[in-house]
Structure 1
């Protein structure tokens, strides 16, 4: 969901998967019935890095601001089980607004480029999610499918959609090694299709969202959250490796605060990015809410 193919890794510099979204209680399935999740994210970056983690040599005054409002609906089936697991289906749809501007050094002088776009992003479907639970350990497995329905034009600097079909098998867990201590993570391996407009295929990606947190009261939790992202194979265009492979990397960390009752919950998160390669480098803020019917 992040832009600028000319200055970042993977096509458009982002990933179909929203990095850092699944941290708190990542492996715990909701109760039977319908649960709604709402996500508001704000990402700001004023740096873009090369393959060595240094500022891009030909880019100056880089500024990127991406906001997303998403809704996810989970339905846990009451009367079905598979392999001893509860069964769930979920989908999510984002609305994305992005602004980007930068100066490019050229032999003819400095060229300023900028763009603003907003629109619907790509649809995420997870038709079958399996969940196993015990009092201190919860785990989920599934496959996220990202369907390219979002707004896209190959001539834009920024696109809410990616124009590629992607899918990612994943595993998530939530453990309580002590009564008030939570350790959660979602690990996903993302496989990208080819963009038919540009003949570009982004490399395979691995990401691990995480949360380590302590419940200071029954309702309130404080924690450390973030994500570990690594692109594992080269980008390709027209069947050839693009540049030096253009592989992205980032480590993000920051504080989180959660308030939860049996019916509703709220999470605020800040994720600061370091060790960045072939991507923008910035900060991501989240406000998340859940409501159970």
Structure 2
């Protein structure tokens, strides 16, 4: 009995020491309203784009609303679950797109902006912390799209993420924004043949700046959304998801953090779209797997698109 109690005490001490090391990492994780990542937030909502991800719409004004829910638990460097650390979030992001009549390099010039909001809850052995607030706004003044008849569509852009979101140095649960700028080159491609078969991908590379309040700089990341689907009349069905791989180490005060805290995740799941009178309704579910140094869970999206 005494040996067992001593073993339990030692185990508790190991867990407390591990959490002391882990919680600063988790604190930065909660900056994202859309995907609650590891040391620094995913300012882009992975999995947001699927059907026709590489095709700009015709010239005009468009509104997109992304409503979603995410729930997951934290995974360490080996991909093992960290006991007692989980998160869930409900989010809504409003996006405006303007596609002009102007041509650049033979393609259509467009601009867009995204304004996200989120309510999130962080669960740790120390308790539960929650918050609601504005996330980091995204702008892109230079999007160019090409349509190559009959089957191919391409788009490129440079998204700029602004540190507009709610953020606290001392409370992880108060962090909705990332508290740093980042740049993201974007390439989108869609293949849609006359028989309705579609393959789309949106490829991105996120270049993060330093968080000046913590002197923490998260590593850069390659990530992509993808879809393979079939269109049938006003309906479309497919397999959709996302992949993310961190390509450089996390650094704080100019030094590498641990083994670099490099994150990765792969997600997949069903997607369905219905179009009616210039409006699109899209629903997706993504299940995350092969995760390291991030939260792993499930994400649900309901996306509404309309011209105005």
TM-score normalised by structure 2 residue count: 0.86
User: Does structure 1 conserve the Cα–Cα contact (< 8 Å) formed by 2:203 and 2:224?
Assistant: yes
Selected match of 1:55 from 81, 102, 107: 81
Selected match of 2:281 from 255, 258, 266: 266
User: Does structure 2 conserve the Cα–Cα contact (< 8 Å) formed by 1:53 and 1:278?
Assistant: yes
Q: Hey, what does 2:246 align to over in structure 1?
A: 231
Higher relative contact order (CA 8 A, sep 6+): 1
Q: Hey, what does 1:99 align to over in structure 2?
A: 121
Q: Deviation above 3 Å: which 4+ runs of structure 1?
A: 7-10
Alignment pair present for 1:207 and 2:223 = yes
Q: Hey, what does 2:136 align to over in structure 1?
A: 122
Alignment pair present for 1:6 and 2:25 = yes
User: Does structure 2 conserve the Cα–Cα contact (< 8 Å) formed by 1:223 and 1:256?
Assistant: yes
Higher helix fraction (1 or 2)? 2
RMSD value, Cα: 1.5
Aligned pairs for 1:83-162 within 5 A: 83-103=105-125, 112-134=126-148, 135-158=150-173, 159-162=175-178
Alignment pair present for 1:75 and 2:75 = no
- Give structure 2 stretches of 5+ with no counterpart: 1-22, 30-36
Selected match of 1:184 from 176, 181, 200: 200
How far 1:16 sits from its partner (Å)?
A: 1.3
Distance in 2, Cα, partners of 1:93 & 1:68: 11
Q: Hey, what does 2:299 align to over in structure 1?
A: 284
Higher strand fraction (1 or 2)? 1
Q: Hey, what does 1:109 align to over in structure 2?
A: none
TM-score normalised by structure 1 residue count: 0.91
Aligned pairs for 1:168-179 within 5 A: 168-177=184-193, 179=195
Selected match of 1:34 from 61, 68, 88: 61
Selected match of 2:261 from 236, 243, 246: 246
**Whose Rg is larger?**
2
- Give structure 1 stretches of 5+ with no counterpart: 104-111
Selected match of 1:17 from 37, 44, 67: 44
Q: Hey, what does 2:214 align to over in structure 1?
A: 198
Aligned-partner SS, 1:6? helix
Q: Which moved more, 1:280-289 or 1:158-167?
A: 158-167
